[in-house]
């Protein structure tokens, strides 16, 4: 007998707080229509949609894990880190994320300047307007390019202008992965290497583990079945937790809107909670001893 949908979760979803197209309420409605037991809101360098998603989720019986996707840089390589069960109300955490959001605006401005030097006229205020107050990213620049007719699609904008190695690309100079792990841990959460199959950086994982990495995103809409098996085995060997999700940004953007190629079992959420409970107990015992 096939397992029911409520035995599964999607732990990688985006909203208008970063580069998604759905409000947190629309995202909860979308996830509810799929019958998931739990989801995680993991906007890029942003926490603003978590509260609204949790409020509606509690009313419709959908568990909403507070999360975030952090952009990091290691030797000019961009590494994304997912944080789960973060305390998004922590003032120190919010202040640091606000700094990253400002850095994103400055990066978008530099991309706009590079485009202008090529004769491609895109206005930064319009890019920010498209972002709608959320964390600004390349997809917002891409949508502005598409709106003005310079490209026919977001994918074309990345391929011609703002993708890595393209004329208007501007790299990120934010946290290192190790710093992002510490940020997530300080906010009470767990840190995961996002979509490692895309990054093709397995040689970095042992170093990440030494720096405090808690888990791998095993299942992802762009991972093949073979990659999912590989990262599942790797996580087991390294004693790492597992997560996964669609990386859904909205119809036509990011991960698949209609499928998650390897459905993510809900017990990965239970294992995260168990790991956090054990860490809290160890911290309490250490405090008592001291």
Instruction: Identify the pLDDT of residue 246.
Output: 94
Per DSSP, the three-state class of 32 is: helix
Are 116 and 204 members of one domain?
no
Considering 162, 185, 205, which residue would you say is the last residue of a domain? Answer: 162
Query: How do residues 218-250 score in pLDDT, each as one tens digit?
Result: 999 999 999 999 999 999 999 999 999 999 987
Are 264 and 183 members of one domain?
yes
> For residue 53, is it within any domain?
yes
Instruction: Identify the pLDDT of residue 137.
Output: 85
Average pLDDT for 80-102: 92
CB 252 within 8 A of CB 225: no
pTM of the predicted structure, to 2 decimals:
0.82
Q: Which of 230, 243, 261 is nearest to 192 (CA)?
A: 243
Buried b (16+ CB within 10 A) or exposed e, 157-170: bbebbbbeeeebeb
Are 190 and 283 members of one domain?
yes
Number of structural domains the chain divides into: 2
Are 189 and 89 members of one domain?
yes
Are 264 and 127 members of one domain?
no
Q: Which of 161, 145, 132 is nearest to 22 (CA)?
A: 132
Which residues, including other chains, have CB under 8 Å from residue 287's CB and lie 6 or more apart? none
> For residue 3, is it within any domain?
no
pLDDT band at residue 80 under the 50/70/90 scheme: very high
Considering 142, 162, 182, which residue would you say is the last residue of a domain? Answer: 162
pLDDT band at residue 4 under the 50/70/90 scheme: low
- Report the number of secondary-structure helices (H) and strands (E) in the chain: 11, 10
Asked if the model's pLDDT at residue 258 lies above 50, the reply is no
Are 142 and 266 members of one domain?
no
Q: Which of 149, 100, 105 is nearest to 127 (CA)?
A: 105
Considering 162, 182, 202, which residue would you say is the last residue of a domain? Answer: 162
262-265-270-274 Cα dihedral, nearest 10 degrees: -50
Are 179 and 279 members of one domain?
yes
Query: How do residues 48-66 score in pLDDT, each as one tens digit?
Result: 999 999 999 999 999 999 9
Are 206 and 276 members of one domain?
yes
Where in the sequence is the domain holding 118, given as residue range(s)?
106-162
CB 244 within 8 A of CB 262: yes
> For residue 1, is it within any domain?
no
Are 127 and 260 members of one domain?
no
Asked if the model's pLDDT at residue 188 lies above 80, the reply is yes
User: Which letter does DSSP use for residue 7 in this model?
Assistant: G
User: Which letter does DSSP use for residue 60 in this model?
Assistant: H
Are 184 and 90 members of one domain?
yes
Average pLDDT for 106-135: 91
Are 123 and 75 members of one domain?
no
């Amino acid at each position: 007998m096939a397992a029911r949908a409520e035995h599964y979760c999607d732990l990688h979803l985006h909203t208008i707080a970063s580069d998604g197209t759905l409000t947190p309420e629309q995202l909860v409605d979308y996830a509810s229509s799929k019958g998931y037991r739990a989801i995680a809101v993991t906007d890029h360098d942003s926490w603003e949609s978590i509260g609204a998603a949790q409020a509606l989720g509690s009313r419709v019986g959908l568990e909403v894990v507070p999360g975030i996707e952090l952009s990091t840089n290691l030797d000019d390589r961009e590494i994304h880190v997912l944080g789960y069960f973060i305390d998004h109300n922590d003032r120190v955490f919010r202040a640091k994320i606000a700094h990253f959001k400002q850095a994103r605006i400055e990066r978008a401005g530099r991309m706009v300047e590079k485009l202008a030097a090529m004769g491609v006229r895109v206005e930064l205020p319009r890019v920010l307007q498209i972002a709608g107050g959320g964390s600004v990213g390349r997809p917002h620049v891409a949508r502005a390019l598409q709106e003005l007719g310079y490209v026919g699609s977001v994918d074309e904008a990345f391929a011609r202008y703002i993708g890595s190695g393209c004329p208007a690309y501007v790299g990120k100079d934010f946290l290192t992965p190790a710093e992002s792990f510490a940020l997530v841990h300080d906010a009470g959460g767990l840190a995961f290497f996002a979509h490692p199959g895309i990054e093709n950086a397995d040689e970095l994982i042992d170093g990440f583990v030494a720096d405090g990495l808690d888990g791998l995103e095993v299942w992802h809409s762009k991972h093949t079945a073979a990659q999912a098996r590989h990262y599942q085995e790797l996580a087991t060997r390294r004693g790492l937790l597992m997560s996964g999700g669609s990386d859904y940004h909205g119809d036509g953007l990011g991960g698949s809107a209609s499928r998650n190629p390897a459905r993510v079992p809900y017990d990965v959420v239970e294992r995260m909670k168990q790991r956090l409970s054990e860490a809290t107990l160890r911290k309490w015992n250490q405090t008592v001893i001291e």
